[in-house]
Structure 1
C-alpha cells in the first residue's frame, strides 16, 4: 500500500503545483480514450510517462544548496570573528568552518592563547555555523582544496578583504582564486586578537602603575592613564542596524519559555558557551 502511494505521488504533486495543466491532460486523456475506442487502432502516447516526466522535473529542479567554507584561527574569539562568519553564511546556504591547527598557527603566526578544543567550542557555538573541520591547514593547498570540493561539497571558499600571506609572502588563498571558487567579505575594523592582547597588556600596566602609586604615595597622572586606555578602545558601534544583523529578527512564540542570564562575558570563552548551551535546555 505504501509503495503504491509513493509511486503515484507525482499525481498529487501535479494536482498541487499544476492544477490547470493537470486538468487539461485529464480532459485530453478522456477525449483520446473515446476516440480510440471509437476508431480503434489509433496509437496513443503514454500519458502516465508524460505526466511523470513533467512533474518529476519539479523535484529534480530544486535549487542546489550552496555550501561555503571559511577558515581561521579564531583565537580569543571576538565580535569580528562573529561578524565574518555572519557575512560568510549570507553568501551561501550552509557554512562549513575550518579551525586551523595549533601547529599551523605556531608555524605561521606564533603560539595561540586558546587550545584547539576551546576554539572549536567557540566556533561551534555560533548560530551561523553548520559544520566544523578541526585541524584545518593555514593555507589552502591543492590537496586540501580538492578535499573541500569532493568530500565536503564546498562551492566557494571565503576570506576577508585583508591580505593573508604565508611566511614566504605568497597568498594563502591563491589556488582558490585561480580556480574561480573564491569569495570575499569585508573585514570588521577596530578589533583583532592582537589588539585584544594589547588591551590586556595595557590593563596590566595600568594595574602595576596604580600599585606603584599606592606604595610610593606619588601623584599619578590621570591624563596619561586615560590616553593609554583610549589607545585600545574598540571602534565597534552597536547601532540598531548592527544589532538587527546579528539577531534572527523574531521574538519568542506565545508559549515559549524565556530564560534570562546576565554576565560581563569579558574575553568570551568556552566556559561561557557551555553555560549558554545548558540554559537552552530549560
Structure 2
C-alpha cells in the first residue's frame, strides 16, 4: 500500500532503474532482479558506483550553493527512491523555511514518499506523482501550487533524469525542459546532471542495452546537447563540467576520478 492507501505494484521480479540507482548509492530498497542488472552494468562499466555517488554529491553541493545564495523554493523532478540526505534535508539544513516539491512518475518512489515529506516546522515539503514528459501537468498540480509560489524564484533540479527521455524523431527532452524553464520567473535556477557516452561509448552502449532489456530506454547526450538545456539562462561558475568538478568541496575531489569514470555532465544556471 502507498501512503495514500492505494495498492502499489512494485514489480519485484523485474529490474527497475530507481532501485538499480538505489543499489549503486548503497541503499536497501533493491531486490534480486535489480542487483542482477546492477551486476551487469558493473561488468560493462566498473565505475558505476563511483559515477552514481559523485552525481548524488553534485546535487547536494548545488542545493547547498543555491540555498546559501537565497533560494527558498525547490522543485525536484525525477526524485528517485529517498536516500539521505535528500534535497529538502540539505536545503532546510541551511534555510529552515525552504519549501520543496518532489516529483516522480514511479510507484516505487510513491511507496516511499513519506520519507520525503518530513519537513522542518518552518518549511514545507510535498510530493507530486507525475511524469516529466507532462511538464504542464506538474506545473498545475495542486500539491505544487499549494507549496510553491511560481511568481517567485524556484530552483529546478533535474538530477540524472533527462537521459531517461529519448528524443526519437523530435527534440523531446529539450522541449520539456524549455516548457519548465518558461514557467519560472526571473531569478529561478536550473541544476542539472546528465549521463554521457562522450568518454566511453562502448561501455555506455552496453548500459543502454542492459536497461533496455529491463524495459527502460536511455539516451546519453553529448556535451553540446547537454549545454543546450541551459539556453537563454546564465551559467554559474564553473559552467558545464563533469559532475565531480562542479564546485568540489576539496580541490582533490575534482581530480580523483577520470572523465570516463564520472560519465556525467553537470551545471547550474540562473534565469535573467
| TM-score, normalized by the shorter chain, greater than 0.5 | no
More contact order relative to length (CA 8 Å, sep ≥ 6): 2
Provide TM-score, normalisation by structure 1: 0.30
Provide TM-score, normalisation by structure 2: 0.31
Q: Which has the higher strand share?
A: 2
Q: Which has the higher helix share?
A: 1
